[in-house]
Each structure stands twice: as structure tokens, then as C-alpha cells.
Amino acid sequence: MKKVLSILVIVLAFSFSANAQDKMMKQEPVKTIALEQTTGEFTQKSITVSEGTYIFDVTNNSVGKDVGLVLVKKGKDASKPENHIQTAYVTAAVKNNTVGHSKETKLEKGEYVYFCPLNPTPQYSLIVE
């Protein structure tokens, strides 16, 4: 009986280890979307990317004040913070002539809009295919 239990434990441990390795190998790489702001606008007016996990890099190119990033699923009220995809916010306001970064943000197929309320910009299109 002890031998059967020992074999069962070894088989279960091996199975768990193999499943954990499979999951680790299937993790997709984190990609970067680089955005640049100048006074009153983003230089990228429309972006198309594939589904996946992204970090947003936001460059403040001589705006003269702090900038940020808001990302919202298209069709949602962008003025309501509860509709914002908060992981896409830069982790701190981006100072003049520096680059800020967001947290990892999983983008699923669909349309989004992005803008900056600190350096008031229009809303631009982000399409995820």
C-alpha cells in the first residue's frame, strides 16, 4: 500500500510540474506601444495592434507640463473614470522631456480610444485585431 501511495505521489508531482511548465511556456511576451505627446496632441493618430499584453511608453516631448494617458473601450463614456482601463495609466505623471510607462495591460480584440486630459488632446483610435 505504501509503495502504491508513493508512486501516486510521484506521478501527481510530475504531472503538476509538467502543467506548470506548459503554462509558463505559453505565456505570451509583453509588447510595448510607444506614444509621443507634443503640445495638445499625440503624434500617433491611430494605432493597430494584435491582441496581447502591452506596456504603454508615453514620451513628453517639450509639452511644458506633465502628461498622462487614458485608454477607454470605444463606446464607453470616456469622461467617467470607472470606464478607464486603469492599468494603461502611466504609473506617474510624465514630466517634461521624459518617458513614463504604464502597467501591463491586456488588450482584447476591439476598438479603443486614447487621450490625455492633462495636455488636453483629441481622442485617438486604437484598434486591436
Q: What is the pTM of this model?
A: 0.79
Average pLDDT, the chain: 88
Going from the C-alpha of 75 to that of each of 53, 79, 101, 115, the distances in angstroms are 22, 12, 25, 14
Please indicate, yes or no, if residue 19 is contained in any of the structural domains.
no
Please indicate, yes or no, if residue 8 is contained in any of the structural domains.
no
Locate the DSSP E strands across the chain: 30-38, 41-42, 46-49, 52-60, 70-73, 99-101, 105-107, 110-115, 124-128
Residue 90: which CATH number? 2.60.40.420
**Predicted pLDDT of residue 27:** 81
Cell reading at 28 = 505570451
Cell reading at 68 = 498622462
41 pLDDT higher than 80: yes
115 pLDDT higher than 70: yes
Question: Quick one: average pLDDT of 33-43?
Answer: 98
Please indicate, yes or no, if residue 25 is contained in any of the structural domains.
no
Domains in the chain: how many in total? 1
Please indicate, yes or no, if residue 92 is contained in any of the structural domains.
yes
Q: What percent of the chain has pLDDT over 70?
A: 80
Please indicate, yes or no, if residue 50 is contained in any of the structural domains.
yes
Please indicate, yes or no, if residue 4 is contained in any of the structural domains.
no
Domain of 41?
30-128
pLDDT tens digit string along 1-16? 555 444 544 444 445 4
Please indicate, yes or no, if residue 67 is contained in any of the structural domains.
yes
**Predicted pLDDT of residue 20:** 52
The kind and range of the H/E element at 124 are strand 124-128
Please indicate, yes or no, if residue 107 is contained in any of the structural domains.
yes
